[in-house]
A = this chain, B = another copy of it.
Amino acid sequence: MSDRLVVQYDCRATGAPAADVARAVAVEQTIEFPAELAPQWIQDEVVGRIESVDDGSFTLSFDPRLFDASIVQLVNVLWGNVSLIPGVRATSIEVPESFRAAVAGPRFGIAGLRERFQAPRRPLLSTALKPIGLSSEEFARTAGELATAGIDLIKDDHSLADQRWSTWEDRVARCSDAVNAADTGAVYVPSLNLPADRLLDAAVRARELGAGAVMVLPGIAGFDMIRAVAEATGLPVMAHPSMVGSHVVGADHGLPVGFVLGMLPRLAGADLSVFPNSGGRFSFSVDQCREIADNCRVSDVPTACWPTPGGGMTLEKVDTIVAQYGHDVCLLIGGDLHRGDLRERATAFRAAVDDLDC
């Protein structure tokens, strides 16, 4: 079974017998066809295999020939049409070793970005350019200050796209220049929430303009766009969870949070995966966040990626976050740096990390 995709589903909320739901999902996710009418070998090899059925749950496994090394086909097999059935929740997903070995995964990951930022042991630091409505000149000035203060990754707020207040190319050019001029090793990370047919070209253009990393929104552009951007640019890629919540917050519907915000972006090649930390503006629990971080870092195939907890984090919480995740974490603090003098607070953010016993 080790080379098959293994998915556990909970179906108590459907009110139907688990054996019936198991048979329905095994067919729905593969041949979508009256099973008894399919050739025998297809019934035996292509239809999902029912590994076990318990009270209110069941486990299926899927032949890797259904998806080979394709991210889009992997998610289609494990959640495509089942997503339309209320009351079914995937509770555990084991991706075959062969798949994990076949994908490129993060180009940099934990080791690569430690080298990139000359940070052999400390957590990385990131922040976001806010608020939307400011001009590119204003963002660039702020970006330069943040780089000078010692922040490693200065990203666009995910809502910054190509609005008239700050158009995409103008912002990327100015912010890249400002961050690179600080000469601290910091990188500017533009958001790629752009039209589907412009996104890859824009990613390459961002590199030409001097951006040192890029941010993809897989809930909007698709998870495989992370891979495509990583391949096209060779830059570190940060994944942002906008729109992804639909797949994970349902009590009795959806996918495991650790898979969607940890393993899946990592398989697709994200070097950093942003998620809402416990104790912030969102209601993710400590256990959910641990599950995400575990999925970012467990084993080394593919390369581990940086859990990047954000969503309302503050300077005062740096020690708590590091205690929660250890040193292999990218700290993301946005608005809180603006509660006072920005340069001063950003410098304090870096100092708090440098003071850690690494």
Contacts and interface: CB of A to CB of B under 8 A. Distances in A.
Interface of A: 24, 28-34, 37-39, 41-42, 45-46, 65-66, 68, 70-73, 75-77, 79-86, 128, 130-134, 157-159, 161-165, 193-197, 200, 217, 219-225, 227-228, 231-232, 241-247, 249-251, 253-255, 276, 281-284, 311, 334-335, 338-339
30 contacts: A30-B159, A31-B159, A32-B131, A32-B335, A33-B130, A34-B335, A34-B338, A37-B339, A38-B131, A42-B131, A70-B161, A70-B162, A71-B195, A73-B159, A79-B243, A80-B158, A81-B241, A82-B245, A83-B245, A84-B245, A84-B311, A86-B249, A86-B250, A86-B251, A197-B231, A222-B222, A222-B225, A246-B246, A246-B255, A250-B253
B72 A161 contact: yes
**Which 8 residue pairs of A and B lie closest in terms of their CB atoms, listed nearest first?**
A83-B245, A31-B131, A84-B245, A80-B242, A197-B228, A42-B133, A33-B131, A46-B133
Contact of A241 (B84, B200, B243, B255): B84
Given A133-B31, A246-B253, A283-B86, A72 B159 contact: no
A11 to B, nearest CB: 12
A255 B246 CA distance: 9
Q: Chain copies in the assembly?
A: 2
**Does more than half of chain A's interface fall in helix, strand or loop, or is it mixed?**
loop
A46 B163 CA distance: 12
Given A32-B334, A161-B70, A338-B33, A39 B80 contact: no
A32 B66 contact: no
B159 A80 contact: yes
Contact of A249 (B33, B41, B83): B83
Given A231-B197, A242-B76, A282 B84 contact: yes
Contacts of A334: 32-33
A220 B218 CA distance: 9
A134 to B, nearest CB: 8
A72 B217 CA distance: 10
A282 B14 CA distance: 11
Given A34-B338, A34-B339, A242-B76, A225 B249 contact: no
A145 to B, nearest CB: 16
A223 B253 CA distance: 22
Contacts of A133: 31, 38-39, 41-42, 45-46
Given A68-B163, A194-B72, A228-B197, A281 B24 contact: yes
A281 B85 CA distance: 9
A283 B15 CA distance: 12
Nearest to A66: B163
